Amino acid sequence: MKALLNEIQDCCILSILKRGDAYGYQIGQEIKELFDISESTLYPILRRLLKERFLTVREEEVDGRKRRYYHLTTLGEMHLESLQESWESFSESVNSFLVKAGNTS
């Protein structure tokens, strides 16, 4: 289940960045609309995505403070598409199972 959660978190972060560059706090606030994520969870994920070359980062000074803006790379877009396809397949399978089991309509 941990691998599934990691993929869901990656998919959410990459989806946010597909709309445009964003900084860490901004990403965290958007994800919190879906599920609770702490900074101690978010920033290691961002570092891993950077290391895997799914993201790039640029620093910009805002009100005297440096802010790191994350950008989705072409490789990141391809990874996002793969994650979305996996999610669609998984959710269809679970929904089908639940319908067969009589637990949903």
pTM (predicted TM-score): 0.87
Q: Which residues contact 95 (CB under 8 A, 6 or more apart)?
A: 104
For 52-90, the pLDDT digits (tens) are 999 999 999 989 999 999 999 999 999 999 999 998 988
Domain range annotation of the chain = 2-100
Strand order in the sheet with 55-62: 22-23, 65-72, 55-62
Strands annotated E in the chain: 22-23, 55-62, 65-72
Topology of the domain covering 2-100: Arc Repressor Mutant, subunit A (1.10.10)
Of 6 and 1, the structure prediction assigns the larger pLDDT to 6
Give the residue among 50, 3, 51 at the shortest CA–CA distance from 24. Answer: 50
Of 35 and 1, the structure prediction assigns the larger pLDDT to 35
